Structure formats: structure tokens, C-alpha cells
Amino acid sequence: MADTMQFDLVSPERRLAALQVNAVVIPGADGDLTAMPSHTPVITTLRPGVLRVEGPEGKQDYVVSGGFAEISGDGLSVLAERAIPLAEMTRAQLDEMIEEARAKHEAAKETFKNQPGPVDDAAKLLADMVALGDQISL
């Protein structure tokens, strides 16, 4: 069993990470999960949260707003809607993300009257964004 695996984190703006890691804690839509070398292949959607990376060079945290993670036998690729190193995250960026989620919720309420599924999904996204602010103390 290998001690490390390849980890790639990409957002539409840029590639944030391409390195060898020991473990990555992923904020999955169905709950957090930890990917480690030789993990069973899985594809999961991301919820807003903190992606925690542990490797030979230390720990790194990234704020993600959603996207997908694909765990293969030899690596992990994360395609994030938005990803920001936690150390670079500002209150203004968080406020912008919360406002985008609030706008999506309002649009869903208007578009999907009497259809709770999409409205509930948008409400959960908004709640996850607000909770993220508490998690990262912003």
C-alpha cells in the first residue's frame, strides 16, 4: 500500500493544487469522507465546506463552494465550483458566496412554486454557506 496519492484541485479560475498527499477530508454532499491511498473508487458531489489536505509537506485547507470529487485507486481529483485557500479567504468573499446562494434560493422559490425539491436544495445551499462562515470563523 502506497503512503501517498496524487491530489489535484481545480476551479474554473485556476489549478490550486497538484501534489502528493496522505489524506484529504472531503465535504461531501452526503457527509464528510476521508480519501486515502488505495481508497475504493468513488465519485461524490461537494457541499460548501472546508477541504482538508494532509501531506508530507504539511496541512492545507481550502474553502470550496460545491463541485465534484473523484477518488480513484491512485488519486483524487476535485473539480470545485469555487475554491479558495483558507488562509486567503476574506469576509467579503464569504459575503459574496452567501449572496449568490441567497439569490439562487429566491430564484428557485419564484421558478418552482409548489415544487419543494429545487427550493429545498437552494435553501440547503444557503444554510451550508452561512454555516461555512461559522466553521471558518468569519
Say which residue the cell 439569490 belongs to: 103
- Residue 24 confidence (pLDDT) above 70: yes
- Residue 118 confidence (pLDDT) above 80: yes
| Residue 73 pLDDT grade (very low, low, confident, very high; cuts 50, 70, 90) | confident
- Residue 75 confidence (pLDDT) above 60: yes
- Residue 82 confidence (pLDDT) above 60: yes
Q: What is the mean pLDDT of the chain?
A: 92
Q: What is the mean pLDDT of residues 29-51?
A: 94
Q: What is the mean pLDDT of residues 62-84?
A: 94
Q: What is the mean pLDDT of residues 3-11?
A: 96
pLDDT of residue 32: 95
Strands 42-46 and 31-35 come out as unpaired
State the pTM of this model.
0.88
**CA 23 – CA 29 distance, rounded (Å):** 19
CB neighbours (10 Å) of residue 1? 5
Give the domain ranges of the chain. 5-86, 90-135
5-86 is a CATH 2.60.15.10 domain: yes
Q: Where are the alpha helices (DSSP H) in 1-115?
A: 91-111
- Bridge partners of 67? 46, 80
- Residue 23 confidence (pLDDT) above 80: yes
Contacts of 117 (CB under 8 A, 6+ apart): none
Write out the E strands in the chain: 5-10, 15-21, 23-28, 31-35, 42-46, 49-55, 58-64, 67-72, 75-80, 83-85
**CA 99 – CA 38 distance, rounded (Å):** 39
| Residue 50 pLDDT grade (very low, low, confident, very high; cuts 50, 70, 90) | very high
Structure confidence by residue, pLDDT tens digits, 59-72:
999 999 999 999 99
